[in-house]
Amino acid sequence: MGRMTLTTFALVRHGQTDWNAERRLQGATDIPLNDVGRQQARDAVNVLSAYEWDTIVSSPLSRAAETADLIAEGLGLNIARRVPNLIERSFGPAEGLQAGPELEALRIPGGFRGGESDDDAAARGIDALNDLAEEFAGQRVLVVSHGTLIRLTLSRAIGRKLDSVHNAVLNLAHHHAVDGWQLDYYNGERLVEVVES
């Protein structure tokens, strides 16, 4: 693997689920896509087909796996595999709850009681991407995962706090063996480099 190796990642959040629509925390709970989500996955193919992809991997949770299957079908790719480390951050007992007093009662600094902390989820996400960058060095890898995991992982990778990730839109990042991570697109928008004066 050369020092100049650049590995490109699309990090795509799964399509919508009923729990997304109801604004419930999903976490590690395996909630399937709904019909809106399936259509979002098919629509994502149009954007993603502007690039060449070598492989596609996803979280094993059904909402991500089905999104990946629909995208793979649309792009004529084979799924390399499901990556357990790409599952959504666990929210523990907070899963299934909507915003409100019950949810607030479970909130602790950096996460929810009985769930995975922001830091642990970010570290797990970075480990998963670094492993993929090594395995698929120099290739273009499409990763279908989850909103909070993608947000925490990319925030950690670029050292900047990012907003929530929309369903089935393009987040495009590059991994360079020496220079580390660079994020080009977030929620489908090109990011402007913040240059410190």
Q: Is 88 a catalytic residue?
A: yes
Q: Which of 14, 66, 95, 116 is catalytic?
A: 14
How far apart CA 136 and CA 5 sit, in angstroms, is 10
Kindly report the number of other CB atoms within 10 A of residue 118's CB atom.
17
Residue 16 annotated as binding site:
yes
Residue 19 annotated as binding site:
yes
Residue 14 annotated as binding site:
yes
Residue 15 annotated as binding site:
yes
Which amino acid is residue 120, in one-letter code? Answer: D
Residue 17 annotated as binding site:
yes
Which amino acid is residue 121, in one-letter code? Answer: A
Residue 18 annotated as binding site:
yes
Token pair of 194 as six digits: 């913040």
Q: Is 66 a catalytic residue?
A: no
How far apart CA 24 and CA 176 sit, in angstroms, is 36
Q: Which of 22, 52, 88, 116 is catalytic?
A: 88
CA-based end-to-end distance of the chain: 35
Which amino acid is residue 9, in one-letter code? Answer: F
Annotated binding site for substrate: 13-20, 63
Annotated binding site: 13-20, 63
Q: Which residues are catalytic?
A: 14, 88
